[in-house]
Amino acid sequence: MSLAHTSVIVHSAQSVDAGGIVDDAWLLASDDRIVETGTGSGWRALAAEIGMHGGRGQLDLVDGSGLRLVPGFIDLHAHGGGGHSFDDGAAEIAAAVAVHRAHGTTRSVISLVANPLPALEQSLGAVASLAEGDPLVLGAHLEGPFLAPSRKGAHNPSFLIAPTPDAVSRLIEAGRGHLRQVTIAPELPGGLDAIDRFVAAGVVVAVGHTEASAEQAREAFDRGATLLTHAFNAMPGLGHREPGPVAAALADPRVVLELIVDGVHVHPDVVRLAFGAAPGRIALITDAMAAAGSRDGHYRLGTLDVEVADGRAVLAGTATIAGSTLTLDAALREATAASGIDVVAAVTALTATPARALGRAGDLGLLRPGHAADLVLLTPDGRPRHVFAAGARIPTPA
């Protein structure tokens, strides 16, 4: 992907990131980085200097009056959008990612459902090629095939396997250094050893689609797993005698918990419980399938048929939820309105926390000099008015 860079000044906005809320804020980005930030009218001299000397190239001056400036959203877990699926090759991935970018997701991890190993190797190669040419694609997430059959969710049970050393090696090699995350049910034969191998290869390991007890989840976290895949979904519930993996993750400061906040996957009361129990450790994800940003109808998720009605996706002929039709701007609106989550905490869950989960806290997820010029300006009702990714303007929905 070729990104045409320019200098960007956003001024007179209310900025919100993990550091808090700043009124009458301004920000200068040059090339793909944030260069300076401040408050008040200090931006005017910079704008005049750029206009007079052209020292930082063409200037995109954005009046943020009445708007909220937040870092670009980072989605750790999505499968498609706009009618396109991430499992269907590079062109479909690029088309789906473009839909999410228009909704403020400036960095995406490309999630793949369970498939036979040769198909997964091919998909990993496609993602690696995209990531090598597009810094906004952060790499691949293998949600399958190392999942508990009893917690398969919307994954084809025929493609679920144990994480043997050969399978692990093949998938790491196919990712060409761009396999970013893998979900594992740690109770599977070889599960803990597989966690060791993935962690050693620099892959973030998530516990998910699992029957693990709290004790088994704690052992997985001690072996290096640091994520919980869509907490509360496709795993034992939070029981008072059998607390399960959710309780283990909530209690462990090393672990980030993914949450799908769409009003379908997790009740608003439970969303509030999670944010309160693990402050700064919740990452809002979409788990979006192809219908995100599109219309109701019939779709495919991997090899399985999905029906979408009123924005709810289920496996055809069942009540099994099959991902979501969520975009991250909608997740932010849902978290703050329906669940009453503080806006700083909610924005953090879309930005700084997922950046930290991926080891990118040093350059993503904050509005501060040296960080990527990933910027979203939201209207008062929480819809993207302007989006910049790596300093380049992204078209937003009309």
What amino acid positions are annotated as catalytic residues? 287
Sort residue 382 into left (φ over 0), alpha (ψ -120 to 50) or beta. Answer: left
φ and ψ of 376, to 5 deg: -130, 130
φ and ψ of 68, to 5 deg: -110, 125
- Largest separation between any pair of C-alpha atoms in the chain: 69
- DSSP output for 268-288: HHHHHHHHHHSTT-EEEE--B
Q: Which amino acid is at 322?
A: A
Measured N-to-C along each axis, helices 191-200 and 214-222 cross at an angle, to the nearest 10 degrees, of 30
User: How far is the CA of 134 from the CAs of 1, 3, 127, 178, in angstroms?
Assistant: 5, 9, 10, 12
Beta carbons within 8 Å of 389's beta carbon, 6+ residues apart: 3, 72, 101, 106, 107, 136, 374
